[in-house]
Structure 1
Amino acid sequence: MTANEACADEPAAGPLTGVRILSTAVNVPGPVAVARLVALGAEAVKVEPPDGDPLEAASPAWYEELSAGQQVVRLDLKDPAGRDRLEQLLAAADALITSSRARALERLGLGWEALHARHPGLCHVAVVGHPAPADDLPGHDLTYQAALGLLGSGAPGDEPRMPVVLLADLAGAERAVTEALAALLARGTTGTGSRCEVALSDAAETMAAPLRHGLTVPGGALGGGHPAYRLYAARHGHVAVACLEPHFLTRLLELLEVTDDAGDLVERLAGVFGTRTASEWEAWGREHDLPLAEVRRGERLGHLRH
């Protein structure tokens, strides 16, 4: 067994104070879900493989953020001693979060029937790629988004692009939190634990609903078809204008002295927004209580943290 245990500061008291979470999930969805449960007051032990969580190498700062307030234990679960230590941790846990495929869990003795027989009060949230019976089908955030048409604007001739948000992973994490809370609540009534699956492909499909229903397709109501809900080129950069509600739109047009009569309103607004920089328009929007924001690039995102 290889063990590297580190305890961070105790989590703040919250509605989940006294609840103990055990997680074997690495990468993004599981750790994000556990971090949220810890923020609600739960105690958490995270079991990592001997080489650690791949997220630590890919994004050390985010890994530290997601691991804060948790006990991190590195175990070789192929070794009997590692499995014995895991069994001790399971005995003390209220909920288990996993992100391994079903056959991998079976090999570790974490299949639901065996797990429930040994720990009848334990709730298990299994984060998987696809719902059963396809839960052994491999996938990642990129493939889930690709399958749902989320890797481009959808305009003819547009090349697909890599996602800037891990939409399936983060949506799946929030769903895992909900399922964990529901399972713990039900256990308070029944006295026994339960198992639920959170399929990342299903979470991504839910997030794709605006596209599927035509709202965010090119030219859709939220896809650039509304003159006051779209992106405009500024003198420097771009500004996002989201004056969708009538009172916002009316005030925007009045302040800009633009009339909403016959003709191309988009063209008239474009002419006005081209007179100032995007950052100036954002400040102007705040001054006048209007939803405008500069479209920031990667190098300008640092100041948004916390």
Structure 2
Amino acid sequence: MTPATRTLPAKTPPRLQPLKGVRVLSLALNLPGPAALMRCRQMGARCVKLEPPGSAAGASGASGDPMAQYNPGAYAALHEGVRTGVADLKTDQGQKALHRELSKADVLITSFRPSALVKLGLNWPALHRQYPQLSQIAIVGSPGARAEEPGHDLTYLAENDLVTGLDLPPTLYADMGGSLMASEAVLQAVMHQRGKGKGVFLEVALSSAAGYLALPRAWGLTRPGAAVGGGHAGYRVYPCQDGRVAVAALEPHFAARLCAAAGVAASSIQALLAPATHQAIAAFLLTQTRRQLDKLAADQDIPLHTLPP
């Protein structure tokens, strides 16, 4: 008798902690800074955040991060494992609390305009002179001379052609992209510190993050009619009988399986770009339920994902 085959549980990939032992202090509010700090904590850093005193609730010691007011759940998720404190940096007491933390930190994350950093004594020349081992990651809206301009995620997306029609984007792309750039900058700063023995100043602009995310559009990849802009019949969102289906059968072997299932004779890229192929695949998908399409995807190895109406 052949012994039964035992399926071994999948091994969880090891989580590397390249920032273990690194102390990160953040003064950054809202989303990009806290999201960057969350990533740093996940990479093993010891994270501290100082916030201004809250004024909306009028409670002593309340958080002054707006996120804590308009979405407490998101705030809690972002700050899990982060030691938070309250300090009014415009007062002597708040400055003393700040410098106690700066004396122990390896990296400082800020999200103030450059003029505000000067007023708080946190501009890089002054900071580097007092704490030569410390690095600073300055999150700004726009780079260089435009860093004083007001803006937000929506305006940075708009200037990079990532806002279409009157609908708001489904997520905060510039903020989250900027948070990844900021956590990457922390890694760069730590590598520099370890190699050179001194801190470094790195600026992360949210508009630059939006510009990076917009590169496929700037290159023409996602423009209307381009292959991944709706031009390829195997890479579109179609209606189905009881909802929608996102089809990503872009590679020739995937596209061939989709066409075979739909009874469409289309093997060349020219055929897949033809309106007749779009119409034939759309007609087939409209006859299928989400359950049927999920089964088709599993049986025929076709990349698609069904969605509610």
Q: Shared topology, TM-score over 0.5?
A: yes
**Is 2:195 the counterpart of 1:189?**
yes
Deviation track 1:132-169 (CA, whole Å, cap 9, x = no partner) reads: 111111110011111122111xxxxxx33211111111
**Is 2:44 the counterpart of 1:41?**
yes
**Equivalent pair of 2:242/2:308 in contact (CA under 8 Å):** no
Q: Distance in 1 between matches of 2:299 and 2:73?
A: 34
Which residue pairs with 2:257 in the alignment?
251
Q: Distance in 2 between matches of 1:251 and 1:181?
A: 43
For the residue of structure 2 that corresponds to 1:233, the secondary structure is: strand
**Is 2:39 the counterpart of 1:27?**
no
Q: Distance in 2 between matches of 1:292 and 1:98?
A: 41
Amino acid at match of 1:244: L
**Is 2:293 the counterpart of 1:293?**
no
Deviation track 1:2-50 (CA, whole Å, cap 9, x = no partner) reads: xxxxxxxxxx982211100000001111111110010010010011111
* Residue 147 to residue 13, structure 1, CA distance change in 2 (3 Å): closer
Amino acid at match of 1:30: G
For the residue of structure 1 that corresponds to 2:151, the secondary structure is: coil
For the residue of structure 2 that corresponds to 1:135, the secondary structure is: helix
**Is 2:225 the counterpart of 1:222?**
no
**Equivalent pair of 1:286/1:292 in contact (CA under 8 Å):** no
Deviation track 1:78-123 (CA, whole Å, cap 9, x = no partner) reads: 1110110000000100000111111111111101011111110001
Amino acid at match of 1:230: R
Amino acid at match of 2:115: R
Q: Which runs of 5 or more residues in structure 1 are unaligned?
A: 1-11, 153-158, 298-306
Q: Which runs of 5 or more residues in structure 2 are unaligned?
A: 1-14, 55-62
Which residue pairs with 2:179 in the alignment?
173
Which residue pairs with 1:109 in the alignment?
121
Q: Distance in 2 between matches of 1:214 and 1:191?
A: 44
Which residue pairs with 1:6 in the alignment?
none
What does 1:5-84 correspond to in 2, within 5 Å?
14-51=17-54, 52=63, 53-84=65-96
**Equivalent pair of 1:151/1:163 in contact (CA under 8 Å):** yes
Which residue pairs with 1:121 in the alignment?
133
Q: Distance in 1 between matches of 2:264 and 2:16?
A: 52
* CA RMSD after TM alignment: 1.7
Which residue pairs with 1:265 in the alignment?
277
**Is 2:205 the counterpart of 1:199?**
yes
Amino acid at match of 1:15: P
**Equivalent pair of 1:239/1:282 in contact (CA under 8 Å):** no
For the residue of structure 2 that corresponds to 1:21, the secondary structure is: strand
Q: Distance in 1 between matches of 2:90 and 2:308?
A: 46
The two structures have a TM-score, normalised by structure 2, of 0.86
Q: Percent identity?
A: 41
Which residue pairs with 2:10 in the alignment?
none
Shift of 1:286: 3.3
Q: How many residues align?
A: 280
